[in-house]
A and B are shown apart, each in its own frame.
Chain A
């Protein structure tokens, strides 16, 4: 009899533990919004090669009065005011100084524009007026070499954190491009903590914490200012499990901070932007698939202005969308 009771007891215990885990998991894996949704304001752009037209817009950065957009197939950067009025453009196809080969994510630091120059395996730096200043990096797999950089973050001392897409790593370089350290194993995809699966973008918090859009792992990874892995989020266990639920991703393609330190992640295949607290707590999301106002055909990049407005690159619709927080005018 005792022998018959034991399996029953075990089964009951396992069921209770399973239910508790399921309930705990439900809260963690299917979070509800902590903030009101963002409100669509405006959109501009259409397919083409003229001013204000795009062929594959892929990256974005903003100042307090201007919006910079990577216009990848047109091999140029276009600049607009916050209402979408075209101001200027720079860049041309090619490999020389000032020329671009598929510009991707953008970063502005110390009044300079840093462009991930994907085909040319380098970071190219421009003045905000569009004057080419310098390039950092060269093709390869060695230290300081790049294979399709997707994004870059710049520290206050000028150090660079470069997303090295096909080398499956993040490189920390000094302002002259000399190698300091890296995260991820060169050329090797991994799904565990500190490993990468085609990373696409990176953002640096004011305290030096590094946030990485780990693209095809469908997650965000966070690395401390001392270079240690801190935490990750995105779906169950944050290890390459994609989905359409809140807090989950289907390929992360850009990451940016808001003025209050919130983290905005472009959720490419889910056609939306998601907002998180720095610890990964889901706050809100906006956007859905489509071609109408407030709809995206692949949301590939986002940047947040000092006033909290969010500018989103609507890749497949060849346009830029402006959104504002619910409680702002």
Chain B
């Protein structure tokens, strides 16, 4: 009975720990870019990202120089791919982070 209780608690604990990921509908990438104040280039970045399959939404914070990319769970944006995309858009790539939404 005790064993059963600990098993159940264990399963519950794992479920609690993983539930934010299970419930998250997709991921959000945050890409830091230098020189994002000009909308010509900002829109260029948006245009490039929205052509990637699985990308659902793009927001840009011009003041902070961050591109927010919301994508489906299975979309994997590698750093190299994003770096190329940013550089092709006329910007300097700084960093990328990936978090569940």
Q: Chain A residues in contact with chain B, CB under 8 A? A: 56, 58, 72, 101-102, 104, 118-119, 148, 150, 165-166, 198, 200, 215-216, 251, 253, 268-269, 298, 300, 315-316
Contacts and interface: CB of A to CB of B under 8 A. Distances in A.
Interface size class of B (residues with CB under 8 A): 10 to 19
Closest 5 CB pairs of A and B: A102-B43, A119-B47, A118-B43, A56-B39, A148-B44
Interface of B: 37-41, 43-44, 46-47, 62, 90
12 contacts: A58-B39, A72-B43, A101-B47, A102-B43, A118-B47, A198-B41, A200-B40, A216-B90, A253-B40, A268-B38, A269-B37, A269-B38
Say whether chain B's binding surface is mostly helix, strand, loop, or mixed.
Answer: helix
Contacts of A215: 38, 40
A300 B40 CA distance: 10
Contacts of B39: 56, 58, 72, 300, 315
A225 B37 CA distance: 34
A119 B89 CA distance: 13
Contacts of B43: 72, 102, 118-119, 148
Contacts of A300: 39
Contacts of B40: 104, 118, 148, 150, 165, 198, 200, 215, 253
Given A118-B43, A251-B38, A269-B37, 13 more contacts: A56-B39, A72-B39, A104-B40, A118-B40, A148-B40, A148-B44, A148-B47, A165-B40, A166-B44, A215-B40, A253-B38, A253-B40, A268-B38
Q: Which residue, of B40, B44, B47, has the highest number of chain A Cβ atoms within 10 A?
A: B40
Contacts of B44: 148, 165-166
Contacts of A198: 40-41, 90
Contacts of A165: 40, 44
B89 to A, nearest CB: 8
A200 B43 CA distance: 13
Nearest to B42: A56
A119 B44 CA distance: 8
A268 B41 CA distance: 13
A215 B89 CA distance: 14
A171 B44 CA distance: 19
A118 B90 CA distance: 16
Nearest to A198: B90
Nearest to B63: A316
Nearest to B88: A166
A118 B40 CA distance: 9
Contacts of A268: 38
Contacts of A148: 40, 43-44, 47
Contacts of A216: 90
Contacts of A101: 47
A135 B85 CA distance: 28
A315 B39 CA distance: 9
A132 B10 CA distance: 63
Nearest to B41: A198
Nearest to A166: B44
A224 B37 CA distance: 33
Contacts of B46: 102, 119
A298 B47 CA distance: 22
Contacts of B47: 101-102, 118-119, 148
B13 to A, nearest CB: 44
A148 B41 CA distance: 10
